């Protein structure tokens, strides 16, 4: 494999798909050596077959708002790779959604799902629909219209979608309802379901919990822990919420949350009733940062800024891709941050990652550190198949064990001669090897 040549060819074929090209570039650089040591990969064109999605579906989603006005959005499902199991990956509803973003997410998901050790292939989907400011009735009508097309290509042994940005328990409920009606089957095809109809305990918190468990494993290698640490979190969605809850439980103080318009710094820490208040705001599809600073006057709202400028020991980016750049990374390092664990997918730019690695900081890339969400989705599917439901303690214990195993795999493939663990390299190689070997076993298809 010649990484530069491959990337040039890919850029020619998919010009302008910057997020997808960024995600592929990062993986290719990590796996180049091991790939070239295994000539069987080259002769089966494993990498050329792995970087292109198996299938991309785009479709029109027409829906009507509360005033009777019709709207059209674009719906997508990218089925990336099913070598190790049925396609699996979330749905994102956000105005920024496009093919490049969904292809980067589907590509990442393939490696992430491989790392979990569960039999899940990679996929991603969603729409450029913006749920912000919409009524529940509008969101329901949109979800139903989206599923009218998607249901044709999903199934419990084919493709199992879940949530992502803009898609939480409410949206999963609306989509599951219409899927059930169309297919006449109650087969658990979506994960992140409500507790009363096949959902798993701990699934809502799982991604954030897993990000903290992964960070805890990294910290242990330096005889450190969350206890007494200052933690900065970005976003305040499904992932950030779980991360804040678990970091606080482990004795840390979380100082920040953020939205696209800026971040909140709360010198008293963000926990307890403050989290309940934030959850209420989220449930009514409102912005959170400004109202929070009005409700808790000691908290400061830093408009147009990102939480990485505030001093912390541990940073947990939990909002979106490329939300932490080179300047942010330098600031974190200068301010003494010792650990970054990514709850979001690809939140750090390549230049920021370079700074973390140069400074030999504990850096857990999203495809490893946020794999707890999809792992618990896998556990939800297992409970559905067995027609039983585990207690919260049972699910959390299994999740913690999976995160420990992912950490071990990253150490196995990412430990450098001086003892520093390059978790990004480790995650990419460990994820790749399993998928590549499964593809070899199954022939050229």
By CB under 6 A, tell whether 259 contacts ligand NDP: yes
Q: Least distance (Å) from ligand NDP to the CB of residue 420?
A: 26
Residue 329 near ligand NDP by CB under 6 A: no
Instruction: Tell me whether residue 79 or residue 238 sits nearer to ligand NDP (CB atom).
Output: 238
CA distances from 133 to 98, 174, 179, 345 (A): 21, 17, 25, 25
Residues 209 and 396: beta-carbon distance below 8 Å: yes
Would you give the binding string for ligand NDP spanning residues 349-378, x where CB under 6 A is met? ---------------------x--x-----
The correct pick among 320, 341, 375, 384 for binding ligand NDP (CB under 6 A) is: 320
Structure tokens, 92: 């994102």
380 closest CA partner among 188, 242, 205: 188
**Given the complex with ligand NDP, which of 3 and 203 has the nearer CB atom?**
203
Stretch that binds ligand NDP, among 71-79, 144-152, 314-322, 331-339 (CB under 6 A): 314-322
Q: Give the residue, chosen from 11, 52, 65, 287, that forms a contact with ligand NDP under the rule CB under 6 A.
A: 287
CA distances from 403 to 340, 361, 364 (A): 16, 19, 11
End-to-end CA gap in the chain:
20
User: What is the dihedral angle through the alpha carbons of 279, 283, 287, 293, rounded to the nearest 10 degrees?
Assistant: -30
> Residue 156: which H helix or E strand, with range?
none
Q: How many CB atoms lie within 10 A of CB 329?
A: 26
Q: Could you give phi then psi for residue 359, rounded to 5 degrees?
A: -90, 5
Give the C-alpha separation, 71 to 403, whole Å.
42
Nearest to 423 by CA among 214, 120, 213: 214
Binding residue for ligand NDP, selected from 10, 230, 319, 337, defined by CB under 6 A? 319
210 lies in the site for ligand NDP, by CB under 6 A: no
- Cβ proximity of 107 and 122 under 8 Å: yes
Residue in 103, 124, 229, 246 annotated catalytic: 124
Taking residues 75 to 114 in sequence order and writing x for each that binds ligand NDP by CB under 6 A, - otherwise, the string is ---------------x------------------------
| Binding segment (CB under 6 A) for ligand NDP, from list 162-170, 174-182, 395-403, 413-421 | 162-170
Q: Is 124 a catalytic residue?
A: yes
- Which tokens go with 326? 């080179």
Tell me if 345 contacts ligand NDP by CB under 6 A. Answer: yes
Q: What are the catalytic residues?
A: 124
Interface residues toward ligand NDP, by CB under 6 A: 90, 163-166, 168, 207, 234-239, 258-260, 287, 318-320, 323, 343-345, 370, 373
């Amino acid at each position: 494999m010649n990484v530069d040549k491959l990337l040039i060819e890919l850029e020619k074929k998919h010009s302008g798909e910057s997020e997808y090209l960024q995600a592929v570039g990062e993986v290719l650089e990590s796996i180049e050596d091991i790939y070239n040591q295994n000539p069987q990969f080259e002769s089966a064109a494993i990498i050329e077959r792995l970087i292109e999605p198996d299938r991309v579906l785009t479709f029109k989603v027409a829906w009507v708002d509360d005033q009777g006005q019709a709207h059209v959005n674009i719906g997508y499902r990218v089925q990336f790779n099913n070598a190790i199991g049925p396609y699996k990956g979330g749905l994102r509803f956000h105005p920024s959604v496009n093919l490049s973003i969904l292809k980067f997410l589907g590509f990442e998901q393939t490696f992430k799902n491989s790392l979990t050790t569960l039999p899940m292939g990679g996929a991603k989907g969603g729409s450029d629909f913006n749920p912000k400011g919409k009524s529940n009735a509008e969101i329901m009508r949109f979800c139903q219209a989206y599923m009218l097309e998607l249901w044709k290509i999903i199934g419990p042994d084919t493709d199992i979608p879940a949530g992502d940005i803009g898609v939480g328990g409410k949206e999963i409920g609306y989509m599951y309802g219409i899927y059930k009606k169309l297919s006449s089957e109650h087969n658990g095809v979506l994960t992140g379901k409500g507790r009363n109809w096949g959902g798993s305990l701990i699934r809502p918190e799982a991604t954030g919990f897993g990000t903290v468990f992964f960070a805890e494993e990294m910290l242990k290698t330096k005889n450190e822990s969350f206890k007494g640490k200052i933690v900065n979190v970005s976003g305040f969605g499904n992932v950030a919420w779980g991360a804040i809850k678990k970091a606080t439980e482990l004795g840390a103080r979380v100082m920040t949350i953020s939205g696209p318009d800026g971040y909140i710094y709360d010198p008293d820490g963000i926990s307890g009733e403050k989290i309940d208040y934030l959850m209420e705001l989220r449930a009514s599809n409102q912005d959170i940062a400004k109202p929070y600073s009005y409700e808790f006057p000691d908290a400061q709202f830093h408009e147009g800024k990102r939480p990485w400028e505030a001093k912390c020991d541990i940073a947990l980016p939990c909002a979106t891709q490329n939300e932490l750049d080179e300047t942010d990374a330098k600031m974190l390092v200068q301010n003494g941050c010792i650990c970054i664990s990514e709850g979001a997918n690809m939140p750090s730019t390549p230049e920021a990652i370079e700074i973390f690695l140069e400074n030999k900081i504990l850096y857990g890339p999203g495809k490893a550190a946020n794999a707890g969400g999809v792992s618990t989705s896998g556990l939800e599917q297992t409970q559905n198949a067995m027609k039983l439901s585990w207690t919260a303690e049972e699910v959390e214990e299994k999740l913690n064990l999976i995160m420990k195993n992912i950490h071990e795999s990253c150490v196995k493939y990412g430990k450098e001669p001086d003892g520093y663990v390059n978790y990004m390299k480790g995650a990419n190689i460990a994820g790749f090897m399993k998928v590549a070997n499964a593809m070899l076993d199954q022939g050229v298809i």
